[in-house]
Amino acid sequence: MSKIEFDDEEKLREFLRKCWRSDPWWDEEIIEHERAHFDKAKELGYNPRYLVEYIQGTNHEDDGIYQFIQAFVKHSSVSDKDLLAICLAPKDLSKGDIRIAKRLGWKPEENNYVLDGSLK
């Protein structure tokens, strides 16, 4: 497994262009999704990073190396309120976003989240 970090989107895109010299493989929706996390973390005063991670597939159906892109905050004292706001920042939530948000008390069926990151 290998990880590469970037402190802004342009450096991330430059790296991806160098890796994939022909038509870019990445889906613009993925970058847009991660940008929402990144921007929310920055707005809340954290120093977010983009991460490209390479993971080796482990079963016969998924052999190969996979590339994942994500935004993250290296900060051990991120409050639950801020983490919830960061998780719920994208307009289309991933399964991971939903899992973490639910663990933090978000109940989508009750619509118990307000835009400032607090629970109702």
The model's pTM? 0.77
Query: Average pLDDT in the 19-44 region?
Result: 79
* pLDDT tens-digit readout, 87-102: 999 988 888 899 999 9
Lowest-confidence pick of 12-16, 41-45, 52-56, 89-93: 52-56
Supply the pLDDT for residue 39.
95
Domain ranges of the chain: 2-110
* pLDDT tens-digit readout, 57-83: 665 555 666 667 788 887 678 899 999
Partners of residue 86 on adjacent β-strands: none
